[in-house]
Structures are given as C-alpha cells and as structure tokens.
Amino acid sequence: MTQLPIQMTVALANDETPASLCSRNALLVGRTARDFCRDAGFTFQNVVDGTPSALEALADRCRANVDLLAATAAVKVAERRYMIGEQILVRESLSRKTLRVCPRCLSQDIESGRGPERTRPYGRLLWQIEPIRTCREHGIALVAVSNDDHPHRVHDFAMLVQSSLSDIHRLASEAPRRRWSPLEDHLAGRLKNPGYGEALWLSTLPFYAAAKACEILGAVAAAVSASSRTPSPMRIGMRPGRSGMTSLQRERQASGAC
C-alpha cells in the first residue's frame, strides 16, 4: 500500500470513526470516500464495517495508527450484528442512515482544526450510537443533518456534512439544551472502558439489550408517573433512556440489589 504524502492527509482525531477519517481524506484529494478506497484497492463498505484488512489499508494509506482506528470501529460480525471493542450491538443500536452531529463540536472543529476548513469537521463514535442523543461536552441535543442513504453517499461523513456547515452557527444556537443522562453515561462508559460500571447489574446485559431495556422501561415509567395527564408521545420518545435508567437506579437502591 502506498502511503499518501503527509501534506495530502488529514490526521485521525480523538474518537473519530474510520469512515469519517476515510471520508475527510477523500475530500482533501477531491474524491468521494468510495472512489478514494477503490483507487487504493479496498472498499469503503469494508471500512464502514470495520473489516480488519480494510482498516489496516486505510491506516497505512492515511498514516494513521491502526489500533486507534480499530478502537472506534463498529465491526460487523454477522448480519445486523456489530462489535465495538468488547460490546455487542445490533443494527438498531446504531444510527447509520441518519447523520447526527453536535453543531457546537463541528464549529469547534472548524475553528481549531488543521488543514482546509471543509475537511476539519469529523464524525465521533458516540454520534453513531442510537440511544445517545446528547453532546456531553456542550449539553445540547444531537442534530440530524442528513438522511441521505443513497448507496453512493451514505456514511461519507465529510461529503454529507458539507451542506450544513454554512448554517452551523444557527444550528448550534437552536439546538435544544439537554442533560447528559445516566443511560448515556453508562453506555458511553462501557464503550470507552470495558470494565466500566461492572458493579451495576445492567452491565451484565449485552450492550444492545441494556440500551433497549432502558428505552422500554423509561417509556413505561413516564406513562405511569404521568397518570393524571395524557403523556405526550414526543416527550416519551425523547426521554425514555434517561427516565428508564433513573428508574432502574432507584429500584436497585430501594431493593439493595448489587
């Protein structure tokens, strides 16, 4: 594999996904992510699916650390089944078609990143985790900026995000305030540190089941606790993970379970 000259690459950013790195490097040299990969003898789909040989080829081509790259890969291990590190996810655990971002993070990327401005915004791993809907750093809701699932464009982060960059300050100011929830903290912690929350019984469930359990229990808790008024489906849809996790914690404390 021929390495690109360093001035023709962008560096891997903190918690950046392999697809995002690939996409930004492609944009830098005026290619789509799919064409960029095809030129070098591997496929973008294999990068998206975390295939080890594709990650190695991408890391080599773009002068990135392959171990860091692999750490943020959602590796497809079977039909509709993925692993991130030691965590098992299903297709529904991932936001793949809808591109969600924190507009304030992207603004920061543009202000402080290196290289051509259009290549600076990058995609974070946590934005791909469906039950995570908040930027912890900025305390705002993630915003969907693209639903483009055309086979020639889907997952091509840098290409898909371009149309929203001219509007990024408005998106940042209009994004609803939102608190980082206990559920999001639990899931993000498990992805970062495999032993995270080991004492919490929820950690004994597979990642996808923990996420789904909190969603369902949160919706039930919201409906029951609001028995004096009709619960809004929108509110339930927006907060089940948070209320479900909080309910689980209260139940656990009350029962003294470990």
Q: Which is nearer to Zn ion, 46 or 164 (CB)?
A: 164
Contact between 132 and Zn ion per CB under 5 A: no
| Choices 16-24, 67-75, 94-102, 237-245; region in contact with Zn ion by CB under 5 A | 94-102
| Choices 29-37, 133-141, 152-160, 190-198; region in contact with Zn ion by CB under 5 A | 133-141
Contact between 219 and Zn ion per CB under 5 A: no
Contact between 124 and Zn ion per CB under 5 A: no
* Interface pick for Zn ion out of 13, 47, 54, 105 (rule CB under 5 A): 105
Q: Which is nearer to Zn ion, 105 or 129 (CB)?
A: 105
Minimum Å distance from CB 121 to Zn ion? 11
Contact between 178 and Zn ion per CB under 5 A: no
Q: Which is nearer to Zn ion, 127 or 207 (CB)?
A: 127
Distance of alpha carbon 52 from its chain centroid, rounded?
Answer: 19
Q: Which is nearer to Zn ion, 171 or 221 (CB)?
A: 171
Contact between 138 and Zn ion per CB under 5 A: yes
The structure tokens listed for 176 are 């609803």
- Please give, one letter per residue, the 3-state secondary structure of the chain: CCCCCHHHCCCCCCCECHHHHHHHHHHHCCCCHHHHHHHHCCCHHHHHCCCHHHHHHHHHHHCCCHHHHHHCCCEEEECCEEEECCEEEEHHHECCCCEEECHHHHHHHHHHCCCCHHHCCCCEHHHHECCCCEECCCCEECEEEECCCCCCCCCCHHHHHHHHHCCHHHHHHHCCECCCCHHHHHHHHHHHCCCCCCCCHHHHCCHHHHHHHHHHHHHHHHHHHCCCCCCCHHHHHHCHHHHHHHHHHHHHHHHCCC
| Choices 62-70, 96-104, 188-196, 211-219; region in contact with Zn ion by CB under 5 A | 96-104
| Choices 76-84, 100-108, 161-169, 217-225; region in contact with Zn ion by CB under 5 A | 100-108
| Choices 1-9, 136-144, 176-184, 244-252; region in contact with Zn ion by CB under 5 A | 136-144
Contact between 34 and Zn ion per CB under 5 A: no
User: CA 209, CA 202: separation in Å to the nearest integer?
Assistant: 9
- The pair phi, psi for residue 255, each rounded to 5°, is -90, -10
Contact between 135 and Zn ion per CB under 5 A: yes
User: CA 13, CA 7: separation in Å to the nearest integer?
Assistant: 16
Minimum Å distance from CB 224 to Zn ion? 33
Contact between 102 and Zn ion per CB under 5 A: yes
Minimum Å distance from CB 203 to Zn ion? 26
**Chain contacts with Zn ion (rule: CB under 5 A):** 102, 104-105, 135, 137-138
